[in-house]
C-alpha cells in the first residue's frame, strides 16, 4: 500500500474518532441522585425556610405548625425510603461513610505534609456529617415544637419549652448555613458544581452514576401527598383549630 492509499484510508478513521470524541463530550452526566431524593430535599428546604420565617407572629402560627408537621412527615418518608429504597439512598450509606472518619484522622496525623492528606475524603466526611446532623436535629426540633403548640410545658410553668424550641430552630439554621457554605467551598475547590446533582440529578461529567432508576412516579406521589396535606389543613376552621391547639395558658388568658 502506497502513501496516498494510506492517507485516504486513515481520513475516514480520523473522522470517526472525532465524532466519537464529540459524542462523549456532549453526553449528559449520569444520574447521581434520583427524583424522590431530590423532591424530598427541596420540599424539606422550602418547609424549613417557611417555618423559620413564620416563627414570629400569631397570624402565622398555623402556617408555622403546618410546615413543622410537613418536615416531620418528610423525615419519616426519608427514613422509610432509606430502609426500603435503593442502595444509594440508604441512610446507612451515609453512616458507613462517616464511620471512616477515625481512619482519615489517623492518616492526617501520620501524614508528613499537607499534600499527602486525602482532602477529598475529608470533604466527603464533612458533607455526610452535615446531612446526618440535619436529619437527627429534626427530632428534638419537631418534638419541642409540637409540645409547645399543645401546652406540654405549662405544668412546669414558664416558657421553657418554647425557648428550647427556639434554640433548636436557631441551631438548625446554623447547620443549614454551614451545609451551604460547605457545598460552595467544595464546588470552588473541585471546580465543579456540587449542587448540580440535587438540581438535575446528574453529574457535570459523563462518568457512570449509581442510580439505575429515576423513580419519577414516587417523586410526584410525594409532592401530591404534601400538597394534599396543605390543602386539607387550609380547609380546617382556623379559629377553632387555633383555639383548640393553643397552649392552656393562652386559652385561659383568652377566656379572661
State the total domains in the chain.
1
Q: Which domain holds residue 115?
A: 43-200+233-247
Residue 39 to residues 35, 53, 126, Cα–Cα distance (Å): 6, 21, 23
212, with CB counted inside 10 A (0-12, 13-18, 19+), is: exposed
Average pLDDT score, the chain: 77
Confidence of residue 99 (pLDDT cuts 50, 70, 90): confident
- Long-range CB contacts (< 8 A, 24+ apart) of 42-51? 42/198, 43/70, 43/74, 43/222, 43/223, 43/226, 44/71, 44/74, 44/75, 44/78, 47/71, 47/74, 48/172, 48/176
Distance CA 178, CA 204 (A): 24
Residue 233 to residues 143, 162, 204, 222, Cα–Cα distance (Å): 19, 23, 40, 17
24 and 207 Cβ atoms separated by less than 8 Å: no
Is position 161 within any domain?
yes
Is position 177 within any domain?
yes
Is position 116 within any domain?
yes
User: Which has the higher per-residue pLDDT, 20 or 183?
Assistant: 183
CB atoms within 10 A of CB 209: 18
Is position 228 within any domain?
no
pLDDT of residue 244: 45
Q: Report the phi/psi class of residue 118: left, alpha or beta, with left for phi > 0 and alpha for psi in -120 to 50.
A: beta
Distance CA 211, CA 91 (A): 15
Is position 221 within any domain?
no
User: Which has the higher per-residue pLDDT, 17 or 52?
Assistant: 52
- Does position 255 have pLDDT exceeding 90, yes or no? no
pLDDT of residue 122: 72
Is position 193 within any domain?
yes
Is position 8 within any domain?
no
Is position 76 within any domain?
yes
Q: What is the pLDDT of residues 103-158, one digit of tens each?
A: 778 777 777 666 666 767 777 788 788 888 999 999 999 999 998 888 877 766 66
Distance CA 202, CA 212 (A): 12
Q: What is the pLDDT of residues 39-76, one digit of tens each?
A: 999 999 999 999 999 988 778 888 999 999 999 999 99
Q: What is the pLDDT of residues 186-217, one digit of tens each?
A: 888 777 777 777 777 776 655 556 677 888 99
Instruction: Identify the weakest region by mean pLDDT among 76-85, 127-136, 222-231, 244-253.
Output: 244-253
Amino acid at each position: 500500500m502506497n502513501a496516498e492509499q494510506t492517507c485516504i484510508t486513515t481520513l475516514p478513521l480520523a473522522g470517526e474518532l472525532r465524532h466519537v470524541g464529540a459524542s462523549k463530550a456532549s453526553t449528559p452526566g449520569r444520574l447521581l441522585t434520583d427524583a424522590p431524593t431530590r423532591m424530598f430535599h427541596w420540599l424539606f428546604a422550602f418547609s424549613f425556610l417557611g417555618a423559620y420565617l413564620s416563627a414570629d407572629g400569631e397570624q402565622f402560627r398555623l402556617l408555622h405548625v403546618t410546615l413543622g408537621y410537613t418536615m416531620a412527615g418528610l423525615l419519616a418518608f426519608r427514613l422509610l425510603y432509606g430502609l426500603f429504597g435503593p442502595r444509594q439512598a440508604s441512610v446507612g450509606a451515609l453512616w458507613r461513610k462517616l464511620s471512616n472518619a477515625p481512619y482519615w484522622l489517623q492518616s492526617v496525623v501520620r501524614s508528613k505534609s499537607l499534600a499527602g492528606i486525602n482532602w477529598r475524603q475529608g470533604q466527603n466526611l464533612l458533607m455526610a456529617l452535615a446531612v446526618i446532623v440535619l436529619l437527627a436535629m429534626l427530632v428534638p426540633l419537631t418534638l419541642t415544637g409540637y409540645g409547645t403548640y399543645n401546652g406540654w410545658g405549662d405544668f412546669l410553668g414558664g416558657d421553657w419549652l418554647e425557648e428550647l424550641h427556639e434554640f433548636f430552630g436557631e441551631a438548625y439554621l446554623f447547620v443549614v448555613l454551614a451545609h451551604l457554605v460547605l457545598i460552595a467551598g467544595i464546588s470552588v475547590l473541585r471546580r465543579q458544581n456540587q449542587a448540580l446533582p440535587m438540581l438535575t440529578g446528574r453529574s457535570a461529567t459523563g462518568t457512570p452514576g449509581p442510580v439505575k432508576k429515576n423513580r419519577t412516579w414516587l417523586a410526584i406521589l410525594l409532592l401530591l401527598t404534601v400538597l394534599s396535606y396543605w390543602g386539607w389543613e387550609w380547609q380546617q376552621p382556623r379559629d377553632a383549630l387555633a383555639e383548640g391547639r393553643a397552649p392552656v395558658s393562652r386559652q385561659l388568658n383568652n377566656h379572661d
